[in-house]
Structure 1
Amino acid sequence: MAEDVERIMTGIAPTLRDLRTKRRISLTEVAGHLNVSVSTMSRLESGERAPTLDLLIPLARLYGVALDDIVKAPPTGDPRIRPHPVKRHGMIYIPLTKSGGPMQAFKMILPGGKHPAATAQTHDGYEWLYVLSGTLDLQLGNTHTAMDVGEAAEFDTRTPHLISSANEQPVELLGLFSPQGERIHITGP
């Protein structure tokens, strides 16, 4: 048991350094965000200072990862994901995978009607959608496609895209997103 705790504590410093450098954030920026000194952050990342929860929790939020990902907590044997819904632009996103993985699964609930300020977006990656209820309006470039229950679509997210309800009824859908841009293949029986 003590060896496990020692291993976990030793692994936190390099994990913090990796998370910060992958996000291209300076020690000064992180220290300012947490309202601590740069030397405190440097000692945390070098392993000279033991991390405390009052520092690890805001660091997990800043880096957009679960606290378990920072401390590399041992598996509990429970494979369930405990999603925390997020509301953005009137849509509800329910993550179905842990953040930071090569593939992100989510459920979305879109309100009925068009969002007046919504505009098509582009970003790196590849996305797959499956309509659970309602009718989805999928805009890819200048093309609009109405998708009904049971229909799926996949597309390169570098194409300007926008999803919304095709009418006044809400839409529920499942989605897979790969930030690395791997193509998701839909195969038939």
Structure 2
Amino acid sequence: MTQEDLDAVIRARIRGLRLARGWSLDALAGRCHMSASTLSRIETGGRRISIDQLVPIARALDSTLDELVDTSEDEDVVIRPHRDRAHGMTRWVLSKPDGPRGLTVAKLRYTARTPRGELRVHPGHDWFTVLSGTARLHLGSRVILVETGQAAQFDCMTPHAVTAHDGPVEILAILDHEGRRSHLAAVDLTGVD
């Protein structure tokens, strides 16, 4: 990647992050203590980008310098999920092992109605949405039905498990590091099916 290519990527990231937040040039300029015209010239290529400008811009955009200048190539953007079946459940990991902010996305299909073993406890929060069927969320002593199109989020220090209600249920889950270790321990995250 040439310096011109890198500059173009950085400019696009700055503009993209600014627009994603709904900020005008003036709004970002106020946050990073620069003039709006300077930011405009940085975004459009009318001005060279210097490191002493990137640091306050990154900070204002709630980003890091590393994220703005990252040159890693995402050549293979297609994820080939590995299917793992065990104990009335099928799991597909839908994100790369080094996903953003340590999060893992997984599709889970439950056919068993009762939790296997004991309810689990781990630090963090779990989040899932039901793609089809009805999930039985065992949360402490309660059982909560979560239907297609609904989502659930809960503190994982409460003993919990997800099972099928009346027939198979498929969910899409976003798990933090501890949730991944607890719920996907049997899955080879680097394998393909």
TM-score by length of 1: 0.51
Show structure 1 runs of 4+ deviating over 2 A.
112-115
Per the alignment, residue 114 of structure 1 pairs with 114
Matches of 1:157 and 1:99, distance apart in 2:
21
Per the alignment, residue 79 of structure 1 pairs with 77
Larger radius of gyration: 2
**In the TM superposition, what are the counterparts of 1:97-112 in structure 2 within 5 Å?**
97-101=95-99, 102-112=102-112
Kept in 2: contact 1:105–1:176 (CA 8 A): yes
Matches of 1:114 and 1:153, distance apart in 2:
19
- Residue 118 of structure 1 aligns to a residue in which SS? coil
Matches of 2:98 and 2:154, distance apart in 1:
21
- Residue 95 of structure 2 aligns to a residue in which SS? coil
Per the alignment, residue 43 of structure 1 pairs with none
Q: What displacement does 1:92 show?
A: 0.6
Q: What displacement does 1:113 show?
A: 2.9
Kept in 2: contact 1:95–1:106 (CA 8 A): yes
Matches of 2:124 and 2:86, distance apart in 1:
20
Q: Which region of structure 1 is more displaced relative to structure 2, 106-115 or 140-149?
A: 106-115
The one-letter amino acid of 1:171's match is V
Per the alignment, residue 149 of structure 2 pairs with 150
Deviations 1:32-72 (A, max 9, x none): xxxxxxxxxxxxxxxxxxxxxxxxxxxxxxxxxxxxxxxxx
- Residue 153 of structure 1 aligns to a residue in which SS? strand
Q: What displacement does 1:124 show?
A: 2.0
Q: What displacement does 1:100 show?
A: 4.5
The one-letter amino acid of 2:151's match is A
Deviations 1:87-141 (A, max 9, x none): 23221110011125410100000014325x4321111222111001111100111
Per the alignment, residue 166 of structure 1 pairs with 165
Kept in 2: contact 1:105–1:174 (CA 8 A): yes
Matches of 1:140 and 1:171, distance apart in 2:
17
Give unpaired runs (5+ residues) of structure 1.
Answer: 1-73, 182-189
Per the alignment, residue 62 of structure 2 pairs with none
Per the alignment, residue 140 of structure 1 pairs with 139
Kept in 2: contact 1:124–1:179 (CA 8 A): no
Q: What displacement does 1:179 show?
A: 2.2
Q: Which region of structure 1 is more displaced relative to structure 2, 91-100 or 145-154?
A: 91-100
The one-letter amino acid of 1:159's match is T
Match of 1:89 among 84, 87, 90: 87
- Residue 97 of structure 2 aligns to a residue in which SS? coil
- Residue 80 of structure 1 aligns to a residue in which SS? coil
Matches of 1:180 and 1:87, distance apart in 2:
21
Per the alignment, residue 126 of structure 1 pairs with 125
Per the alignment, residue 179 of structure 1 pairs with 177
Give unpaired runs (5+ residues) of structure 2.
Answer: 1-71, 180-193
- Identity of counterpart residues, as a percentage? 34
Kept in 1: contact 2:132–2:148 (CA 8 A): yes
Per the alignment, residue 49 of structure 1 pairs with none
Per the alignment, residue 9 of structure 1 pairs with none
